Amino acid sequence: QKEVEQNSGPLSVPEGAIASLNCTYSDRGSQSFFWYRQYSGKSPELIMFIYSNGDKEDGRFTAQLNKASQYVSLLIRDSQPSDSATYLCAVEGNYGQNFVFGPGTRLSVLP
């Protein structure tokens, strides 16, 4: 059974700070890693995905992957109150047919 773990939070950061969200996974064969943002009452929205070890940057967001440690993270630079949401890590390892979501981390950016 694949497992994906995240700190449930809430993680509180001041506006303008860097928010760091972490995710670990159990299946060493996992290939693809995704970060979703979910506002209360809304459906998940894809932020970014990463496949290779290292960093991937997209605007204020940076995803980091370390397959040896089975660890993926999301950094949000210059955090804004509008970033306050639940962030879901998802892991896939079977050509798209085996998506597993973590429990999510609730982020609160304080003005």
What is the contact surface with another protein in residues (CB under 8 A)? 32, 34, 42-46, 49, 51, 88, 90, 92, 95-97, 99-104
Q: Which helix (H) or strand (E) holds 101?
A: strand 100-101
Query: What's the closest the beta carbon of residue 50 comes to another protein, in angstroms?
Result: 10
Taking the CB of residue 59, how many other CB atoms lie within 10 A of it? Answer: 10
Please report the DSSP string for 51-93 in residue order. -SSEEEEETTEEEEEETTTTEEEEEESS--GGG-EEEEEEEE-
Query: What's the closest the beta carbon of residue 101 comes to another protein, in angstroms?
Result: 5
* Cβ nearer to another protein, comparing 17 with 108: 108
* Cβ nearer to another protein, comparing 45 with 57: 45
* Cβ nearer to another protein, comparing 43 with 82: 43
